[in-house]
Amino acid sequence: MGYRAVAVFTILAVTFLSVSAKHAHVKSNKLCNLYEGEWVFDNSYPLYDSNKCPFLIQQFNCSGNGRPDRGYQKYRWQPHNCNLPRWNGEEFMRRVRGKRMMFVGDSISMNQWQSLACMIHGAFPRAAHTTRRLGLLSTIVFPQFNFTLMYSRNAFLVDITKEKSRRVLKLNKIGGSVKQWLSSDILIFDTWHWWLHTGRKQPWDLVQYGKVRLKDMDRMVAYEKALRTLTRWIDQSVNTKRVKIFFQGVSPDHWNATQWGKPELQRCSGERQPFRPEMYGGGRNLPESILENVLGAVRKPVHLLKITALSQLRVDGHPSIYGNPRKIGMDCTHWCLPGIPDVWNQLLKETLIRS
Ligand SMILES: *[C@@H]1O[C@H](CO)[C@@H](O)[C@H](O)[C@H]1NC(C)=O
Ligand SMILES: *[C@@H]1O[C@H](CO)[C@@H](O)[C@H](O)[C@H]1NC(C)=O
Ligand SMILES: *[C@@H]1O[C@H](CO)[C@@H](O)[C@H](O)[C@H]1NC(C)=O
């Protein structure tokens, strides 16, 4: 069943459920949209302790960096018509034993990778592990489970090549990474945040599509072209019976506080609670629409983790001033750990054990 078919099915199932639930209080996990729901305070969270997880980098260690409140670690995601099962490390490990899993993407991908490593460590605190970093590839192995958990840093997914000292972003080429990706059994892709960078933070000088080279182009158009290159490769070359493919949906940021009725310059600073759904005026997320649209045209099974809307509500989940202490300033893009990416991984697990 292609992505679109799954989406249509889900909408039908949810429509049916919301009608019948009113009458019979039906709660069925089979017919349920896990992505529609609300955040509920739950004192039994978090799933692990930031002081004990050996994989956590300082940038996400908000409590260790002095963040005084802990509420952000204690919300659980409650879908409207069913429950998202609590994280169960044994169940996850049964599914991934002997497998290689790779997150490919930018630092938000690393955020989710670290969260998953900490969730595994929280479930099996005595499990041995080895870590290694080689260039842009970081690897954690849990020998007891013969499980390899990797993060490959790759902000655009398509290639950037250097030609006559100019860096060219090639929207229709992914040759550079494919072999590494295909050595995995489970791939979770993510790209978005770097597409908007300009000036010194822009790591390319020219952008190329086919034979056309430009100084710049509409970033949304470029993003869509790159995604189409990736999905074309999936359709043409990936044996999805062997390699399961996921996309992390677009992770929202919270830089502009006028969107929730506060002075713009406040950013996400001082926020202690999630929004109620009606409080957020940020509207639809354009890159997420593009991603859904592109994945909708894929013939092979590819699963999108639709984390955008549920994460939009978590204005309280960012490091703000408790991120990387060596960099002055604010971070309203990444997420504190324990925190929101833990829920993304619960959703990943639920999808994985059903596929
Ligand atoms: C998080 O920060 C605290 C305080 O600096 C530190 O004790 C702890 O070891 C840190 N956790 C990790 C995983 O580095
Ligand atoms: C461990 O997993 C790899 C695949 O990732 C497999 O080739 C190997 O045979 C497994 N080893 C054991 C001892 O199960
Ligand atoms: C912040 O959001 C408001 C309301 O949506 C918008 O009018 C304004 O242009 C935004 N500011 C920036 C810098 O994007």
The pLDDT assigned to 328 comes to: 63
Catalytic residue among 107, 109, 311, 320: 107
Q: In the block, which residue shows the tokens 């592990």?
A: 129
Backbone φ and ψ of 89, nearest 5°: -60, -40
Report the pLDDT averaged over residues 228-235.
Answer: 98
Whole-angstrom distance, CA of residue 202 vs CA of residue 194: 8
Using alpha carbons, list the distances in angstroms from residue 51 to 14, 56, 59, 327: 40, 9, 13, 21
**5-26 residue pLDDT tens:** 333 333 333 333 333 333 333 4
**297-324 residue pLDDT tens:** 999 999 999 999 999 999 999 999 999 7
Report the pLDDT averaged over residues 274-287.
Answer: 81
For 195-253, the DSSP string reads GG--GGG---SEEEETTEEES---HHHHHHHHHHHHHHHHHHH--TTTSEEEEE-PPP-
Q: Is 121 a catalytic residue?
A: no
102 Cβ partners below 8 Å, 6+ apart? 150, 151, 152, 180, 181, 184, 186, 187, 188
Specify the 3-state DSSP secondary structure of 160: strand
pLDDT at 1 over 50: no
**29-77 residue pLDDT tens:** 556 899 999 999 999 999 999 999 999 999 999 999 999 999 999 999 9
Q: Is 316 a catalytic residue?
A: no
Could you tell me the pLDDT band of residue 279, with boundaries at 50, 70 and 90?
A: confident
Backbone φ and ψ of 132, nearest 5°: -150, 145
The residue whose CB lies within 8 Å of the most ligand 3 atoms, and thus the one to mutate among 254, 255, 258, 262, is 258
The structure tokens listed for 147 are: 């499980």
The residue type at 265: L
- What pTM was computed for the model? 0.91
The pLDDT assigned to 188 comes to: 98
Backbone φ and ψ of 18, nearest 5°: -65, -30
Q: Cα(340) to centroid of ligand 1, in Å?
A: 19
Whole-angstrom distance, CA of residue 300 vs CA of residue 295: 10
**64: Cβ below 6 Å to ligand 1?**
yes
